[in-house]
Structure formats: C-alpha cells, structure tokens
C-alpha cells in the first residue's frame, strides 16, 4: 500500500460536541506526516416553496448555509494546525452524502477516509443506505470507521487476513491489508497482530464414510496443517512475532471479535470487496457484518484498482418542493 499522505475526514455534524474522528485524524496525520481535509457535504434538501414563502432566494440560502458550515470547519482546522498539521476545510453542496464524500476524496487525492460510525445498529443497511456502510462498499481508498472516543496510545493493530481466499477476496488483498496495518502500527508506535480464521472440518473434504473416528481427526489435522502453511506464506516478509499471530479454528466473524477482545485492539484492519444484487444480500460481507460488534475502530481496505461506481460530477444542492395536501385527506 502507498504511504498515507492525505487524509479526508468526513464530518456528518460539524456542531457535535465530541468529534473523535477529527482528533484521531490529527493523531494519524501527525504520526504519518500527512495533510488533512475536513469535509462536510451539504446534502439536506432545499425547499423551493419555503424559500419563496419567506421571500428568500435559493442562491442566498445556499450561500448562508455554506458560509455557516465553512466558518465552523475553519475553526476546527485551525485547532488541528496548532499541532503543526496542515489542515484545510472543504464544504460542498452535493448528495447523497456518501457519494459526496467519495467525490471529495478524489478531488483531494486522499489516501485514507476517516468517518464516524453510524450511531445505530446496521440492520438491513443495504436498504437504509447508511453513509458509513456505503463508504465501505464504494470508496476506492481505505476507510477508517471511528467507533470509540479513546485516543490511540500505542494501540494493538489487528490485521484480519484470509490466505485461503474462502470468502472470495482477491489474491493480493491480504498483502494490502498487512501493508496498511503495518504502516498504521509503526506510525502510532503500536503493535501489529494478525488473525486467520479457518474451518477445521471443511464439508468439501468429507463424505458419508469420512465422518467418524480417526479419519475425522486426520481430516482436521490435514486441514490445520494446510491452513498454517497458508498463514505462514502470507506473513512471509512481515515482521509479526509468533505470539502476535492468532490462528483460530472458527468462523471469521467469531475469530476476529475474539482476537480483538483478547488483545484490546485499537484498530481492526480487514478487507472488503463490493458486491451487488442478490449475491451481495445472500453472502453479505465479513467486514460489514462484524463492525457493529467490535469494540474498537475498523479500517477497511479495498483491492488495488478497485473501481468505484460513484459518478465524478457533483450534483449541487438537492432542490425539492413541499408535498401538496389535497382537501379531504
């Protein structure tokens, strides 16, 4: 993975009292020598009828809202710059918010996007289109979802790899995950851990005559040996002590959560690919399914040459008219 030199922070509510995504972006920027852009998308609709009734032009409403948010972000950027970090504010009329963030990241040349996790559990996120969930799917650069207020203090960084490629990850994605995790761990003076979950008894290796006694044990032993070789191969050239290699015979969701809890992880780094349609709804995605339950931040990495489907052109303000209520309804 290329060095992280530009960090875009997606700020949903600039007036929120606590903005841990900004504080953690400042930490990372200071450690990495990176620039920061604080971005807010003005994605709420402007109601034409309401503006006309108030005798205010839409252009004036746009300018007023833009200036108000820009002033707030300038103040936040100024607070970061006192620590010697180069920071700049950016405000755009654009919608929906997740597409606006991706477009802003492209303009800025961001190597990393940082955003706060949506406050509620992600039930049916593909239908509700939560901004953080959509960023995981569509952003072409790594996305760090901030879940906790705790500052990073020599954090344990857990890289979740899948060298067996059992979950349809591209072959080189594990290297991207490890490279990103190593860069973060080194910058924050933390420790790098890895976790690999494997199925101890793959159904594909069994039939009705191979499920009892010593044969079952032999299958399990052979599966473990093969998995250990794959784990060692993907970690070849990566400096991770044996005690920080977590080799777990469980489903990835349980294994990642367990390893993260065991080491008190500050960030879990994992890979994701974008799926669409029925396949996506049926198969789901490990990254999307675990980050509700993890009690730490989650950094999601995409494969190289990931093609984002977000259009390049921004949409400007979202203009709407108030619904007309018919008499008798």
With respect to residue 109, please indicate whether it lies within any of the assigned structural domains. yes
**134 and 264 share a domain?**
no
Q: What's the CATH number where 284 sits? A: 3.40.50.620
**299 and 176 share a domain?**
yes
- In this prediction, residue 104 carries a pLDDT of 97
- In this prediction, residue 137 carries a pLDDT of 86
- In this prediction, residue 200 carries a pLDDT of 81
**98 and 155 share a domain?**
no
**302 and 153 share a domain?**
yes
Residues forming beta bridges with residue 112, ordered by sequence position: 7
- In this prediction, residue 243 carries a pLDDT of 96
Q: Are 297 and 24 contacting, i.e. CB atoms less than 8 angstroms apart? A: yes
d(CA 293, CA 268): 12
- In this prediction, residue 40 carries a pLDDT of 98
With respect to residue 46, please indicate whether it lies within any of the assigned structural domains. yes
With respect to residue 329, please indicate whether it lies within any of the assigned structural domains. no
**103 and 193 share a domain?**
no
**For the chain, how many structural domains are there in total?**
2
What are 191's two structure tokens?
Answer: 């420790």
d(CA 105, CA 39): 9
With respect to residue 67, please indicate whether it lies within any of the assigned structural domains. yes
**123 and 198 share a domain?**
no
Which residue shows structure tokens 């979740």?
Answer: 160
Q: Where are the strands (E) in the chain, listed by range?
A: 6-10, 35-42, 46-47, 87-93, 112-116, 143-146, 156-161, 191-197, 245-248, 267-271, 297-301, 319-320
Which residue shows structure tokens 């349980």?
Answer: 254
**111 and 215 share a domain?**
no
pLDDT digits (tens), the chain, 329 positions: 789 999 999 999 999 999 999 999 999 999 999 999 999 999 999 888 877 888 888 899 899 999 999 999 999 999 999 888 999 999 999 999 999 999 999 999 999 999 998 765 555 444 445 788 899 889 999 999 999 999 999 999 999 998 877 655 666 899 999 999 999 999 999 999 999 998 887 655 444 444 455 677 888 888 899 999 999 999 998 999 999 999 999 988 899 999 999 999 999 999 987 655 444 433 346 666 777 789 999 999 988 888 888 999 989 999 888 765 555 54
With respect to residue 82, please indicate whether it lies within any of the assigned structural domains. yes
**63 and 204 share a domain?**
no
**159 and 58 share a domain?**
no
- What phi, psi does 166 have (nearest 5°)? -70, -20
Q: How far is CA 205 from CA 199, 200, 224, 252, 314, in A?
A: 11, 11, 13, 19, 51
Q: What is the largest CA-CA distance in the chain?
A: 84
Supply the range of the domain harboring residue 68. Answer: 1-140+314-322
With respect to residue 178, please indicate whether it lies within any of the assigned structural domains. yes
d(CA 244, CA 259): 10
With respect to residue 237, please indicate whether it lies within any of the assigned structural domains. yes
**130 and 215 share a domain?**
no
- In this prediction, residue 281 carries a pLDDT of 39
With respect to residue 327, please indicate whether it lies within any of the assigned structural domains. no
Closest Cα partner for 140 from 167, 177, 105?
A: 105
- In this prediction, residue 54 carries a pLDDT of 81
Q: How far is CA 35 from CA 16, 22, 69, 108, 138, in A?
A: 23, 13, 20, 10, 23
Instruction: For 187-214, write each residue's pLDDT tens digit.
Output: 999 999 999 998 887 655 444 444 455 6
Residues forming beta bridges with residue 192, ordered by sequence position: 157
Evaluated on CA atoms 73, 77, 80, 82, the torsion sign reads negative
End-to-end CA gap in the chain: 59
**257 and 134 share a domain?**
no
**99 and 169 share a domain?**
no
């Amino acid at each position: 993975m290329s060095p992280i030199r530009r960090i875009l922070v997606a700020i949903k509510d600039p007036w929120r009292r606590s903005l841990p995504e900004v504080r953690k972006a400042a930490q990372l920027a200071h450690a990495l020598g990176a620039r920061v852009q604080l971005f807010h998308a003005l994605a709420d609709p402007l109601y034409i009828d309401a503006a006309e009734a108030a005798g205010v032009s839409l252009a004036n409403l746009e300018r007023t809202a833009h200036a108000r948010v820009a002033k707030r972000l300038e103040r936040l950027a100024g607070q970061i710059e006192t620590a010697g970090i180069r920071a700049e504010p950016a405000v755009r009329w654009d919608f929906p918010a997740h597409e606006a963030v991706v477009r802003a990241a492209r303009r800025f040349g961001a190597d990393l996007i940082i955003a706060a996790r949506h406050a509620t559990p992600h039930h049916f996120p593909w239908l509700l289109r939560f901004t953080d969930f959509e960023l995981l799917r569509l952003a072409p650069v790594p996305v760090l979802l901030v879940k906790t207020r705790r500052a990073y203090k020599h954090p344990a960084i857990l890289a979740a790899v899948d060298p067996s490629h059992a979950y349809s990850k591209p072959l080189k994605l594990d290297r991207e995950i490890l490279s990103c995790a190593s860069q973060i761990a080194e910058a924050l003076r933390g420790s790098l851990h890895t976790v690999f979950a494997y199925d101890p008894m793959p159904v594909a290796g069994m039939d009705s005559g191979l499920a009892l006694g010593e044969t079952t044990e032999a299958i399990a032993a052979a599966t473990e040996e093969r998995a250990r070789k794959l784990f060692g191969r993907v970690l070849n050239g990566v400096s991770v002590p044996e005690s920080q290699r977590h080799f777990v015979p469980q489903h990835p969701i349980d294994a990642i959560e367990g390893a993260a809890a065991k080491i008190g992880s500050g960030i879990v780094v994992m890979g994701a690919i974008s799926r669409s349609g029925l396949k996506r709804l049926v198969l789901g995605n490990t990254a999307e399914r675990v980050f509700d339950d993890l009690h730490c931040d989650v950094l999601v990495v995409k494969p190289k040459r990931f093609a984002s489907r977000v259009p390049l052109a921004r949409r400007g303000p979202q203009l709407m008219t108030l619904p007309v209520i018919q008499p008798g309804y």
